[in-house]
Amino acid sequence: MALSYSQLRRYRTCPRQYEFSNVKKIPWGISEGESFGSSAHNALKKWGEIELGRREKGVGRRKQNDVREDQLVLFAGEAKPDIPSELTEEKLVALWHEAFIVDTYATRLEADFARKRGEAMMRQYYRWWSLAPHKVLAIEKSFTEEIAGLSFSGRLDRVEETEAGIVILDYKTSQPCTQDEADADLQLSLYALAARHLFERPCIALTLLFLSDEGVLERTTTRSASQLKDAETQIRLIRERLEAKDFRPTPSLPACKRCPYRGICDVAAV
Ligand code: SF4
C-alpha cells in the first residue's frame, strides 16, 4: 500500500474525509490558505535552488570546506555585505511575485492583499536567512520509504548540513504549533525515518519554520530511537485500519470546519 503524508494526515483527521478523497475520489477545490502555502513553497524552492546551484558550482567559495561560502559572514556580530547578487532580498521578493498563484482568490482585492502579505513574509524570511550561515544540502528532496508495511512518499522542503549532521526544515504558513506538538508531530517522525536512508550523516534536528508577515518562528525538535519506534507502531495501526476499510467518521468542530466535504457529509459537526 502506497500513501503520501497528506493522505495519511487526512485519514488521521477523519477516516471518512480520506474515503471521500482517496477511495471515492471526489474532487475538491484548493483553498485560499493552501494556495498561499503553495505560492510560498514555490518561491522558496526557487530561492533554495539558487543557493544549491551556487554551492554545487563552488561559486563564491573562499576556501575549501568553508561552510560560510555564499552567505552573509558575521564578524564579531557585524554583518559584512557579502551576499551575491542572486541572493538579495529584492530577488526573493521577485521570486514570490513570480510564484504567486492568483486564481484561487474570490476577488482581485483578496488576491492583492494575499500578495502583499506574502511579500512582507518573504522579507521576514530573508531577515531570518541572513542571520546565520546556511549550507544547503537539498531542496524539495523526494523520497519513498517503506514503514511498517506502508510505502510513504514525501518531499523534504529544505535540508541543511552542519558540522554535527543534517537538519531538516519544513515550511509552514499556518498558525504556529506548540513545542509539545512539534515534539509529537508524526510528519517529522516520518522525515526522520526517511533521513536514515537518504543521507549518510545523522539527522540532528527537525525544524518547523512558521512563516508570517510578522516574523519567522522556529520549532526545533529531535527524534530518539524509541520515538521512531512509536511512529512505526502508529503507522502499523493505521495500515491495519486502512486494510480493514475502516472509514468510520470522527466528526469534530475544528476538522469539519475545514473539511472540503462538509457539504455532502451527513455527520458533519458544522
Ligand atoms: S465533515 Fe467532518 S465528519 Fe464529515 S468527512 Fe469531513 S471531517 Fe469527517
Q: Ligand 1, residue 268: give the atom nearest the CA.
A: 1
Report residues whose beta carbon is within 6 angstroms of any ligand 1 atom: 14, 16-17, 249, 251, 255-256, 259, 261-262, 265, 267-269
pLDDT tens-place string over residues 101-125: 998 999 999 999 999 999 999 999 9
- What's the chain's average pLDDT? 90
In this structure, are 36 and 62 located in the same domain?
A: yes
In this structure, are 184 and 243 located in the same domain?
A: yes
Q: Hunting for cell 495500515 — which residue is that?
A: 239
Is the pTM here over 0.75, yes or no?
A: yes
Ligand 1 atom 2, closest CA: 256
According to DSSP, the residues that pair with 150 across neighbouring strands are: 147
| pLDDT at residue 58 is higher than 80 | no
Q: Mean pLDDT, to the nearest integer, of 126-133?
A: 94
In this structure, are 145 and 114 located in the same domain?
A: no
Residues 6+ apart with CB under 8 A from 1: 149, 150, 151, 239, 242, 243
The number of distinct structural domains making up the chain is 2
Radius of gyration of the chain (CA): 20
In this structure, are 25 and 141 located in the same domain?
A: yes
In this structure, are 79 and 156 located in the same domain?
A: no
Gap from CA of 241 to ligand 1 centroid (Å): 17
Ligand 1 atom 7, closest CA: 256
Contact 114, 202 (CB under 8 A): no
Neighbouring C-alpha atoms within 13 Å toward the C-beta of 86 = 14
Q: What pLDDT was estimated at residue 74?
A: 42
Gap from CA of 247 to ligand 1 centroid (Å): 11
In this structure, are 13 and 106 located in the same domain?
A: no
In this structure, are 228 and 129 located in the same domain?
A: no
Structural domain ending residue among the three candidates 76, 101, 134: 134
Containing structural domain, residue 168: 1-29+135-270
